[in-house]
């Protein structure tokens, strides 16, 4: 799944570890989501959306 997580994180000058701490996940999880190797659970996707003040659809894009 494509996403804008890396761009949103960079705009705030956050490291992957900073974002991981804010979300309660590992840095490796953030890295895998950013690279599209791991799709977050729905609760985690909502947590990401709330953190950035955006809708899930504004962050994650399902590309067939």
Say if CB 50 and CB 59 are below 8 A apart.
no
The residues with which 60 forms a beta bridge, in sequence order, are: 3
How far apart, in whole angstroms, are the C-alpha atoms of residue 45 and residue 5? 11
* Residue 64 in this model has a pLDDT that exceeds 70: no
The domain defined by 2-55 folds into 434 Repressor (Amino-terminal Domain) (1.10.260)
pLDDT for 59? 97
Name the residue ranges covered by the structural domains of the chain: 2-55
- Each residue of 24-44: pLDDT tens digit? 999 999 999 999 999 999 999
pLDDT for 1? 87
What pTM was estimated for this model as a whole? 0.91
């Amino acid at each position: 799944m494509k996403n804008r997580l890396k761009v949103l994180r960079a705009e705030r000058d956050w490291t992957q570890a900073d974002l991981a701490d804010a979300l309660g996940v590992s840095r490796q999880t953030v890295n895998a989501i950013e690279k599209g190797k791991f799709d977050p659970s729905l609760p985690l996707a909502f947590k990401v959306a709330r953190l950035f003040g955006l809708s899930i659809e504004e962050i994650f894009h399902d590309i067939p």
